[in-house]
């Protein structure tokens, strides 16, 4: 339904956590597209201004000198951080829960498609 692209049966047969995961995935995709578009516009503007910028002064050497966005300062947490055994177990439980919920959602979609096929004869 709506932006998530679910039909009515999929929507009403889904549990809250499944809909929440769909929404978060949609939101992440939308945010990534917005960031891409803004970064592209910033880069294009930077390239258009290049002939008019005095490079000897060193005012603008890259697009982030022209416009700085909030996401430019985000720090990436390295994957090799030292985690305790308890933290590793918690992460494993969370991963299993996410994959299980995803599998359940896939099963629901498959069942919904089979039921729809049976009802409409497609």
Separation CA 23–CA 17 (nearest Å): 10
Q: How confident is the model at residue 113 (pLDDT cuts 50, 70, 90)?
A: low
The answer to whether residues 53 and 59 touch, using CB atoms and an 8 Å cutoff, is: yes
Specify the higher pLDDT residue, 37 or 19. 37
First to last CA, the chain: 21
pLDDT in tens, 26-82: 888 889 999 999 999 999 998 898 888 776 676 778 888 888 888 887 776 666 667
Residue 44: per-residue pLDDT? 93
pLDDT-derived band at 115, boundaries 50, 70, 90: low
| pTM of the full structure | 0.51
Residue with tokens 């990534």: 32
Q: By the 8 A CB rule, do 40 and 32 touch? A: no
């Amino acid at each position: 339904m709506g932006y998530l692209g679910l039909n009515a049966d999929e929507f009403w047969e889904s549990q809250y956590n499944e809909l929440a995961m769909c929404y978060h995935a949609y939101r992440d995709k939308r945010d990534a597209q917005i960031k891409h578009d803004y970064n592209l516009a910033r880069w294009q503007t930077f390239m258009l201004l290049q002939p008019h910028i005095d490079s000897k002064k060193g005012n603008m050497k890259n697009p982030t000198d022209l416009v700085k966005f909030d996401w430019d300062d985000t720090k990436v947490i390295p994957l090799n951080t030292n985690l305790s055994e308890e933290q590793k177990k918690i992460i494993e439980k969370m991963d299993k829960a996410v994959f299980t919920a995803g599998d359940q959602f896939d099963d629901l979609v498959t069942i919904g498609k089979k039921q729809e096929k049976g009802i409409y004869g497609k």
